[in-house]
Amino acid sequence: MGTRNILITGGAGFIGSHVVRLFVEKFRDWHIYNLDSLTYAGNLENLKDIESEGNYTFLKADINDFSQIEKLFKKYNFQKIIHLAAESHVDRSIANPDAFVRTNILGTVNLLNAARGIWGSNVENNLFYHISTDEVYGTLGETGLFTETTPYAPNSPYSASKAGSDHFVRAFGETYNLPYIISNCSNNYGPNQFPEKLIPLFINNIIEKKPLPVYGDGKYTRDWLFVKDHALAIKLLLEKGQNKSTYNIGGFNEWQNIDLIQLLCKIMDAKLNREEGSSASLITCIKDRPGHDKRYAIDASKINKELGWSPTVTFEEGLEQTVEWYLSNQKWMKNVTSGEYENYYNKQYS
């Protein structure tokens, strides 16, 4: 039967920290290992409420360092792997594609090799679950939805690197019989998201009365999902997903950027007791993102029909909770924007 050790990579990041917390709470008879190299996006403060739980251990390691990864795999003999560690921001991938190739493709292949190394051919109880993105499918026109059979057509270095990693996971399944699941999810939002992504960046800028940089005409569409609903889908797929399958996960919740930004501005005016329209007056249209995908929208009917998953949090509730969280955690935001959060590991763990 093997150990009852689950490895989560990238657990100090935005989505990973919600997955780690959920797993530590729900899988009491499993030990949850969070492996993260703590890049600029990794913040252990995200997990301070659960860091002393008996079934949780943090491992500081880089997935790009195969010998370090191999040692940890041999030591802990992980039975299941949920792989979230990645470079995740499209704009950074445009500025520096190499880091995305390294971590997202080569780092993933390191994990696949290390998993093969400890599992051998007896893989009955094992799973390599790769967390991916809807961006691998490229862009939609005005209509239609991404399904699990939509051909891959990535347009940014980020999405090309995620597409590459998806292909390697699948290839290890076909070639070496490595058990795997891949899920491709739409845009997540919620507490603990690094303020380089649209929603937390704009919340922060509104608080600080800074310009809100809208790319192009703002008529780009994204399908938004509350991060805790993504974490619940991941838990369900780990427990009940079909080996060697892919699943799309989405919010059934499409918004044009400009409409979402107007809504956010309205909520922020009310929360900050500012005159109506004062946040919207910060909107500034700037040069477009190169290769900007026009529209993403997910058909999540497979995971819904097979496993009964659907989002539990409406966008109105989720956005309200997110805004509330950022307003009551301004210290978190200050630590992140000043860089102070990067000292948390040294204070707590060494």
The tokens describing 333, both together, are 């935001």
Over the window 88 to 127, marking each residue x when it contacts ligand DAU by CB under 6 A and - when it does not, the resulting string is: xxx-------------------------------------
From candidates 37, 133, 155, 248, binder to ligand DAU by CB under 6 A: 133
Task: Examine the residue annotation and report whether 135 is marked as an active-site residue of this protein.
Answer: yes
Tokens 């979402």 belong to which residue?
Answer: 260
Using the minimum distance from each CB to ligand NAD, give the nearer residue, 119 or 345.
Answer: 345
Q: Tell which one of 7, 8, 13, 233 touches ligand NAD (CB under 6 A).
A: 13
We find the least distance from the C-beta atom of residue 188 to ligand NAD, in angstroms, to be 4
Q: Which of 6, 7, 8, 15 binds ligand NAD (CB under 6 A)?
A: 15
To ligand DAU, the closest distance from the beta carbon of 260 in angstroms equals 8
Residue 107 near ligand NAD by CB under 6 A: yes
Please indicate whether residue 158 is annotated as part of the active site: yes
Nearer to ligand NAD, 80 or 282 (CB): 80
User: Which of 45, 62, 87, 134 is flagged as catalytic?
Assistant: 134
Q: Rule CB under 6 A: say whether 214 interacts with ligand DAU.
A: yes
Q: How far is the CB of 221 from ligand DAU (least distance, A)?
A: 8
- Reduce the secondary structure of the chain to three states and give it as a string: CCCCEEEEECCCCHHHHHHHHHHHHHCCCCEEEEEECCCCCCCHHHHCCCCCCCCEEEEECCCCCHHHHHHHHHHHCCCEEEECCCCCCHHHHHHCHHHHHHHHHHHHHHHHHHHHHHHCCCCCCCEEEEEEEHHHHCCCCCCCCECCCCCCCCCCHHHHHHHHHHHHHHHHHHHHCCCEEEEEECEEECCCCCCCCHHHHHHHHHHCCCCEEEECCCCCEEEEEEHHHHHHHHHHHHHHCCCCEEEEECCCCEEEHHHHHHHHHHHHHHHCCCCCCCCHHHEEEECCCCCCCCECCECCHHHHHHHCCCCCCCHHHHHHHHHHHHHHCHHHHHHHHHCHHHHHHHHHHC
Given a contact cutoff of 8 angstroms between Cβ atoms, the answer to whether 123 and 178 are in contact is: yes
* Residue 316 is among the residues annotated as catalytic for this protein: no
Residue window 16-55: x/- pattern of binding to ligand NAD, with contact defined by CB under 6 A: x-------------------xxxx-xx-------------
* Least Å from the CB of residue 162 to ligand NAD: 5
Residue 228 engages ligand NAD in binding (rule: CB under 6 A): no
Q: 146, 118 in Cβ contact below 8 A?
A: no
**Residue 86 binds ligand NAD (CB under 6 A):** yes
Q: Which of 257, 267, 311, 323 binds ligand DAU (CB under 6 A)?
A: 257
Task: Please tell me the distance from the alpha carbon of residue 249 to that of residue 271, in angstroms, as a whole number.
Answer: 31
From first CA to last CA, the distance across the chain in angstroms is: 34
**Binding-site partner at residue 213 among ligand DAU, ligand NAD, none, CB < 5 to 8 Å by type:** ligand DAU
41's contact among ligand NAD, ligand DAU, none, with CB below 5 to 8 A by partner kind, is: ligand NAD
Q: Which stretch binds ligand DAU (CB under 6 A): 26-34, 86-94, 312-320, 336-344?
A: 86-94
Catalytic residues: 134-135, 158
Tell me which residues touch ligand NAD (CB under 6 A): 9-10, 12-16, 36-39, 41-42, 62-64, 84-86, 88, 103, 107, 131-133, 162, 185, 187-188, 194
